[in-house]
Amino acid sequence: MSHPCLRCGACCATFRVSFHWSEAQPHNPDGPAAELVMPLRRHELAMRGTEGSHPRCVGLRGSIGVDGHCGIYPNRPSVCREVEPSWEFGRHSAQCDKGRIRHGLKPLTPEDWAMQPVSLPGVDQVAVETAPLPEVDDLPPAYGFGAPSPEPGSPLA
């Protein structure tokens, strides 16, 4: 099972991608290439293809919902870096859901992240099952947070 973003690309074909000019090359060697951006406002650029009412970023590769993914991932602008896939980090993402729904895809759920392969160089892929976090009441007390103070005269006092 691959990362859901490598089978999606909906965010790349839903939103205008605008950002400060200093994020792009040649000003930032790690930013999007100059030929991939266009002027938007005085201090803003936009990724080509995202400026109209039917956006499709020039960096998008593949077909949405099949193998759609960012073709400039290491050089994507900050606004793209800020979009999180829903539930990957345990929280909902309205932007992710909006993009997926616009393109007829179901929003991601926590179950989409339950079994993710782990890839290490020279090691066969293995699936790692995520374990539920313990309830706060099940955790042992720790000094300084919900635990009694150490006894006077003890080494911890």
Q: Label residue 117 by pLDDT band (50, 70, 90).
A: low
pLDDT at 156: 52
**Which tokens sit at 2?**
């691959």
* pLDDT on residue 152: 65
Report the range of poorest mean pLDDT among 17-31, 35-49, 54-68, 111-125: 111-125
Q: Which residue would you say has higher pLDDT here, 98 or 119?
A: 98
Two tokens, residue 24:
């792009």
32 band by pLDDT with thresholds 50, 70 and 90:
very high
Cα 23 to its chain centre, rounded Å, is 19
> Is the whole model's pTM more than 0.85, yes or no?
no
Which H or E run includes 18?
A: strand 18-20
Cα 102 from chain centroid? 18
Report which residue type is found at 43: H
Between residues 78 and 134, which one has the greater pLDDT? 78
Asked if 106 contacts 66 with a C-beta cutoff of 8 angstroms, the reply is no
Greater confidence, 137 or 113? 113
Dist. CA 33–CA 47, nearest whole Å: 10
Structure confidence at residue 2 (pLDDT): 78
pLDDT score for 144: 42
Residue 120's DSSP bridge partners are 123
Residue 118 three-state SS: strand
